[in-house]
Amino acid sequence: MTKRVVILAPNWLGDAVMALPAVADVRRHFPDAHLAVAARTSVAPVFTMVQGVDQVVTLTGGGGLRALTGWKGDAQVLAAGEFDTALLLPNSFAAAFAVSRAGIAERWGFATDRRAGWLTRAIPKPGAPMHQRAYYQALTTALGMAAGEPYARVVPNRERARQLLKEIGLNPDEPFVVFAPGAAYGGAKQWLPKRFAELAATLIGDRGWSVLMVGTAADRPACASVAALMPPSGTRLNRLIDLSGKSDLPSLAGLLAEARAVVSNDSGAMHLAGAVGTKVVAVFGPTRETHTFPLASGPDAPRPTVITHDVFCRPCMLRECPIDHRCMTRISAREVFDAI
């Protein structure tokens, strides 16, 4: 009998959010089991805001080359949880090796990265391309779990976000829009700073709304590029505010939930915004929106709007555009404004 289940989460924020329907499937299938989610430090806080998760286990190892040594620490942490079943959402060999060394009896996952021998139930990887959410649920359904609705729901602490708004001089009850100008994969995924600045000027000037820019410390250059194109504001309200690198994930989730809308590139912030129930306008350039469009938080939540400009070379999936970035330059600020 399965009593203690641990789900190994994906390593990226967007993937972690798209995995939430599969997490919900596991919860329903094992209603009486202790359900834990094991995740990297960068994404673990997301699962503290997910209903039905009993425990969040922080893994200190890393992906890629760091996994060659980090698996030992991960195995020790997982062994301490005394889990009897592990469900692996990452495709890596290191994930299977760590749960095996942790002594977890049942180890389930896709038969990828030559790891089938380390799994007790190795499921063939789906052959057809699909949305990442469907990919994770393909694993749970192959394991005999009924697939639930394709919604991803995160419940943030809104009061924490409202306090942060007060600290930066904003009335929490005044409308604002959040921009996420960065993107981890590369510059090709980023809508032009000029367009973000044009959109901010319209929101501030025409609607009287403030605009908050968010992101990690790595996104500061992208946010600074937008800010540099804005005229100085003489008032404390109705302005552009750069919060990149200044909020942790719980605070970010709260800010996204309080916003009237979120405008984002294909990024983790985009997925988190959809999961907290906010209107999302997602600008896609070189990446496949059919595989990673943001999920809504429920049947009554706003449906995300995806904006693309079809050109012969997209989706190219390149980190940097080798020509003129036409998939992004041809998306106007007015088009995005009209979608908010």
pLDDT at site 69 = 63
Cross-strand bridge partners of residue 42: none
> Structural domain of residue 200, as residue ranges?
158-339
Establish if 149 belongs to a structural domain.
no
Q: Structurally, how many domains does the chain consist of?
A: 2
Task: Pick the last residue of a domain from 107, 142, 177.
Answer: 142
Strand 261-265, strand 240-242: pairing: unpaired
pLDDT tens for each residue of 129-182: 999 999 999 999 999 999 999 999 999 999 999 999 999 889 999 999 999 999
135 phi and psi angles, rounded to 5 deg: -60, -45
Establish if 150 belongs to a structural domain.
no
Q: If you average pLDDT over every residue of the chain, what do you get?
A: 94
Establish if 153 belongs to a structural domain.
no
The span from the CA of 125 to the CA of 104, in Å, is 22
pLDDT tens for each residue of 271-328: 999 999 999 999 999 999 999 999 999 999 999 999 999 999 999 999 999 999 999 9
The CATH number linked to 94 is 3.40.50.2000
Residue 65 has pLDDT above 70, yes or no: no
Do 226 and 79 lie in one domain? The reply is no
pLDDT at site 137 = 98
Establish if 288 belongs to a structural domain.
yes
Establish if 235 belongs to a structural domain.
yes
Residue 64 has pLDDT above 80, yes or no: no
Residue 231 has pLDDT above 90, yes or no: no
Establish if 55 belongs to a structural domain.
yes
Do 131 and 181 lie in one domain? The reply is no
Tell me which residue has tokens 């938080």. 297
Residue 67 has pLDDT above 80, yes or no: no
pLDDT at site 262 = 98
**What are the CA-CA distances from residue 85 to residues 1, 48, 334 (Å)?**
10, 20, 51
Please state the pTM of the whole predicted model: 0.95
Do 14 and 55 lie in one domain? The reply is yes
The secondary element (H helix, E strand) that includes residue 65 is none
The span from the CA of 192 to the CA of 181, in Å, is 8
Do 254 and 214 lie in one domain? The reply is yes
Percent over 90 (pLDDT), the chain = 90
Establish if 148 belongs to a structural domain.
no
